[in-house]
Chain A
Amino acid sequence: DVKVTQSSRYLVKRTGEKVFLECVQDMDHENMFWYRQDPGLGLRLIYFSYDVKMKEKGDIPEGYSVSREKKERFSLILESASTNQTSMYLCASNRHGSTEAFFGQGTRLTVV
């Protein structure tokens, strides 16, 4: 089975902190994605990557950056966390040419 693992289920950070959310997949997938989920807004794409060191902005990249130094790992970075970044963050991956994406369990981030 495909496994997408997010390093933390719950995180509490202070305003202004630099925050790293880590995601690892074990199926050699080329594509990886970061989504943000908020009630009533569904899932919105923050960034995605289709290869090592490659990244593409999604619909809401402001306030975020990403890093993909290795194929299996895709990190989401909040340079200076703000309260409006309190949310559920979901990582996903799939293979080039594949249709569906496989999701991690999510990280619920609270910024206080």
Chain B
Amino acid sequence: AQSVTQLGSHVSVSEGALVLLRCNYSSSVPPYLFWYVQYPNQGLQLLLKYTTGATLVKGINGFEAEFKKSETSFHLTKPSAHMSDAAEYFCAVRPNQAGTALIFGKGTTLSVSS
């Protein structure tokens, strides 16, 4: 079965510092990959996704992620953190086949200090 591992349940950075949230997946074939963000008391909002093609994917709010097949990773980065980036971030995969649902990691809470 496919699974997603997010390394670090909590990440703290200073405003202006690099954000790096780690995600590894297990799959026999490359799945579709996603990062979602959840602000307090909100649903999930799609940040970015990888399906096929270019392995560096740019998303909203200055975030980007790189699909590395050899490392089975899809880490999320942002060059300069902003206070408004404080939220919970979820990495998810979807097997590349019809009739399947997203499988989520356990989430990483990002704190940003001034």
Contact = CB atoms under 8 A, between A and B. Distances in A.
B82 interface: no
Interface residues of B, number: 25
Interface stretch (A13-21, A76-84, A93-101): A93-101
Contact of B106 (A9, A42, A97): A42
A58 interface: yes
Nearest to B31: A99
A33 interface: yes
Nearest to B94: A99
Interface in A21-51: 31, 33, 35, 40-45, 48, 50
B44 A103 contact: yes
Most chain B CB atoms below 10 A, which of A92, A96, A100: A100
Interface in B57-86: none
Contacts of A99: 32, 34, 49, 51, 94
B42 A106 contact: yes
B46 interface: yes
A66 interface: no
Given A58-B101, A90-B44, A105-B42, A100 B9 contact: no
Interface string B20-45: 00000000000010101000011111
Contact of A90 (B9, B41, B43, B49): B43
Given A42-B106, A99-B51, A33 B101 contact: yes
A106 B22 CA distance: 25
A97 B98 contact: yes
A96 B34 contact: no
Interface of A: 4, 9, 31, 33, 35, 40-45, 48, 50, 56, 58, 90, 92, 96-97, 99-106
8 contacts: A42-B90, A43-B92, A44-B104, A45-B102, A92-B44, A99-B34, A99-B49, A100-B34
The 3 A-B residue pairs with the shortest CB-CB distance in the complex, in nearest-first order: A42-B106, A103-B43, A43-B104
